[in-house]
Structure 1
Amino acid sequence: MRMVPNDLLNQYDLIVKRSQYSRSNFLLDTNKGKYILRKVNIQTEQILFMYDAINHLRKNGFMEVEVIYLTKKNLPYATSKGQIYIMQSYTTSNDVEFKDTTDIKGIIRLLANFHTCGLNFDATERSEKIIHIKDVYVYFQKRIRDTNTLKKKVLPLSKKTEFEHLFLKDYTTYLTLQHLALECIDKESIDNLIKYAQTNKSLAHNDYNYHSVTKIGDNIYLSNLEKCSYNMQILDLCSILMKVMQKNNWDTDLLVTLIKEYEDIRTLSPEEKSILKAMMIFPEKFASICNKYLQCKRRNNYSMFLVKWNNMIVYKEEQVLAAHFIKDNL
């Protein structure tokens, strides 16, 4: 059994009765309750930002996130042998089921509340003005160029890999979706939303998925805020809705229901709705595969791309139908 390093424990004001090592983390039963000491692979500046963010959220009424406990030196992190750890309270939890409508609605409501409480956030270690916020319009243009570049690269090849044959068979379908998504937004709208995020100091999770939520009893809690930053909050909603759609056969009735759940708590602006529409249409998984394949130096190492492609192509027809529904109805 792996023991907690003494130099790590000595940084906290508590007495450990029992400990358990699990997935690079230490579960601690102490004189002050149960805690988890998590090893994290992020810079200390980001931990300080995350600590401020959690305190801001809780101060504004968002209590569904665990606090980070300070060391004796009032730091939100501890170090041992070059590794960085943070300590939070620990409660046994369950995974959230992404095919259970009640759970999915709970996830969306949690996100809406998080966004509502995540405005006007002043971080002590970072200015909202120096943070890079992804320009979605420019991103779409780059990914469209990737698709065309890959087509030009693959077409002349006399011996094509299985992945390259599949790409040539179906790329036009996804390229059409890429252009359809680009039609839904314009550069000015994106610039306005970026400016809004900076002016209103809006906090985004940036990695909101099924690993970012846990269920304790009937309540859903937010976790894994390691990537949080100032950003356009609508990107969180787009990300989670895309994952839900992929797991639910692109059920557009469910999509409409979930957007309503979100807007019952936080109303989307017309510009946010345009981005939501565009990003739900844009074939992100396809774009990611193409981009990574272009960067791959060995064509014969294509098995990973083939698996991802086959997983994506399963719901191609449903995705295309959903894209046109989204374009016309959202």
Structure 2
Amino acid sequence: MMREFEIERQFQIKIDIIKANKGIYYLKTNKGERCLKKINYGPQKLLFVYGAKEHLINNGFNTVDRYFLNIDGEPYALVNEDLYTLSEWLEGRECDFHNIDEVKIAAATLAKLHEASKGYDPPENSKLKSDLGRWPSLMEKRIKSLDKMRDMIRKKNRKSDFDLLYLKSMDFYKEMGKKALNTLRSSEYDKLCEIAEMEKGFCHHDYTYHNIILGKDNSVSVIDFDYCKREIRTFDISNFMIKVLKRNKWDMSFAKAIIDAYNEVSNLEECEYNVLYAYLQFPQRYWRLANRYYYNEVNWGQNTFDSKLESIINEKEEYLKFLDDFKNEYNTI
């Protein structure tokens, strides 16, 4: 009750209905429908995210979940040391990644977002979030961590099904990681990072189906910028592509549709395809799942972990064929 009272006071609203909804809260208020969200990072990071959204809106990309300001002009309410944001409740449905037409719309929207992001100077008291220049060392670190996790398993007296599956499959994914790192090192990654630094753009960093909302009027809204940061755009494109392709048996026609739709809005340079290929080669999903399992990052059940690992491994042939097709189509390294 204390929380609701404080949120009403700080945002000057009256809450009629509050409902939990997938990690956020739906509010019906005297000023319309709102989305309330508890933030698990500090105010400086939040100000970077707030500034990023405002920058997009000022550059004509205004279909985002814009924050409302509190009575002190801040984009959050502070309740017992917890931060809460309030934004408009956006009506619509999540993008269907099995539908190639919706995937194309999402790809074109991502290109528009990247273009509108250019020239962003974060607020003075915010914390600049950037991954520019970090990927060679991140890849290297993650490849080494695959070995560390294998060593952890070997020390166990009793090995789980996940452990045994990991031991059997790990060498292949470690090799893929090394190939990706070599591709990245042979590419013009550093040059692209310098250009991105000059252009002052940013990436969404979590561009997936539940953050792309399609409205009845054909509008497309992008929500949840919590992970946005300075980054080269091929990271966002590869991340989006992987999320689509894993749902569509690594079908090359979906990859081409994404790149074509993106290029219609903002053309990718020839040198960007090698970096994109390096990201697609890197076994990010495999590494992340193992990392979550061995370092207790999420509390899924054992069966969930097992089935997720099995499904990644079962895609192997389709995935390798896709990488070959991509390499031939776009003449990558």
Give the structure-1-normalised TM-score: 0.86
Structure 1: gaps (5+ residues): none
What fraction of aligned residue pairs are identical, expressed as a percent?
A: 23
C-alpha separation between the residues in 1 aligned to 2:159 and 2:123?
A: 54
Match of 2:199 in 1: 200
Distance in 2, Cα, partners of 1:49 & 1:174: 35
Moved more, 88-97 or 55-64: 88-97
Residue of structure 1 equivalent to 2:274: 274
Partner of 2:73 in structure 1? 74
Q: CA deviation at 1:189?
A: 2.5
> Structure 1 CA distance, aligned partners of 2:61 and 2:14?
30
Q: Which residue number in structure 2 is paired with residue 285 of structure 1?
A: 285
| 1:79-98 → structure 2 map (5 Å cutoff) | 79-98=78-97
* CA offset digits 1:208-240 (Å, max 9, x no partner): 112221122122210001121222222111111
What secondary structure, in the 3-state scheme, does the structure 1 residue paired with 2:124 have? coil
Are the counterparts in 1 of residues 95 and 209 from structure 2 also a CA contact under 8 Å? yes
Instruction: Provide structure 2 residue ranges, at least 5 long, that are not aligned to the other structure.
Output: none
CA distance in 1, matches of 2:134, 2:202: 17
Aligned partners of 1:280 and 1:326 also within 8 Å: no
Mapped partners of 1:191, 1:184: distance in 2: 13
8 Å CA contact 1:146, 1:290 repeated in 2: no
Q: Distance in 2 between matches of 1:204 and 1:126?
A: 20
| Displacement of 1:119 | 0.4
**Counterpart residue type for residue 39 of structure 2:** V
Contact 1:129 1:198 in 2 (8 A): no
Equivalent residue number for residue 190 of structure 1: 189
Amino acid at match of 1:288: R
> Corresponding residue for 2:102?
103
The equivalences for 1:1-16 within 5 A come to 5-16=4-15
* CA contact 2:46–2:126 (8 Å) conserved in 1: no
Distance 1:287 1:28 in 2: 41
Q: CA deviation at 1:3?
A: 8.8
Corresponding residue number in structure 2 for 1:56: 55
- For residues 7 and 148 of structure 1, what CA distance do their matches in structure 2 show? 49
Q: 1:70 to 1:289 in 2, by over 3 A?
A: closer
**Is residue 254 of structure 2 the alignment partner of residue 254 of structure 1?**
yes
Counterpart for residue 223 of structure 2: 223
Deviation at 1:29, TM superposition (A): 2.9
Q: Measure the CA separation in 2 of the matches of 1:286 and 1:309.
A: 7
Residue deviations 1:110-157, cap 9 Å, x none? 111000000010111368988453622223333333345555676798
SS at match of 1:229: coil
Q: Give the partner amino acid of 2:239.
A: S
The equivalent of 1:21 in structure 2 is 19
- Structure 2 distance, partners of 1:263, 1:239, is 17
| Aligned counterpart, 1:265 | 265
The residue correspondences of 1:30-179 to structure 2 (distance < 5 A) are 30=30, 32-125=31-124, 131-133=130-132, 135-149=134-148, 161-179=160-178
The CA RMSD over aligned residues, in Å, is 3.0
Deviation at 1:92, TM superposition (A): 2.6
**Normalising to structure 2: TM-score of the pair?**
0.85
- 58-67 vs 107-116, which deviates more? 58-67
For these two proteins, the number of residue pairs brought into alignment is 324
Shift of 1:41: 1.9
